[in-house]
């Protein structure tokens, strides 16, 4: 697990992500990923990462940049996908 202190994401943004995604992280949702029974499973190289980002998508949160792309969370104004994935990895356990 990534240590929260080393994450670049603002604590309030991390908390908002956690609150939105944690209720969606269920055994019923995890099972098809473990079994490879998801769309385009044959093309997935990192199933844990796919699961994390699918959870983000399922949450309905829109990630913006605070400039041209509005969102519920303005993460892209100061983070990139790697930073966001580290934040997700900090609270979503591997499959």
Overall pTM > 0.85: yes
Write the pLDDT tens digit of every residue in 61-84.
Answer: 999 998 888 899 999 999 999 999
Q: For residue 59, how many other CB atoms are within 10 A of its CB?
A: 17
pLDDT digits (tens, 9 = 90+) for 36-51: 999 999 999 999 999 9
Q: Average pLDDT over the chain, rounded to whole?
A: 93
Secondary structure class of 33 (helix, strand, coil) = helix
The predicted pLDDT at position 2 comes to 43
Q: Count Cα atoms within 13 angstroms, Cβ side, for 8.
A: 12
């Amino acid at each position: 697990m990534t240590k929260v202190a080393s994450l670049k994401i603002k604590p309030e943004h991390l908390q908002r992500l956690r609150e939105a995604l944690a209720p969606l992280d269920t055994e019923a949702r995890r099972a098809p990923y473990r079994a490879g029974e998801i769309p385009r499973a044959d093309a997935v190289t990192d199933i844990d990462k796919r699961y994390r980002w699918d959870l983000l998508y399922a949450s309905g949160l829109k990630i913006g940049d605070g400039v041209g792309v509005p969102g519920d969370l303005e993460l892209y104004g100061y983070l990139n996908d790697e930073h966001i994935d580290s934040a997700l990895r900090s609270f979503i356990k591997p499959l």
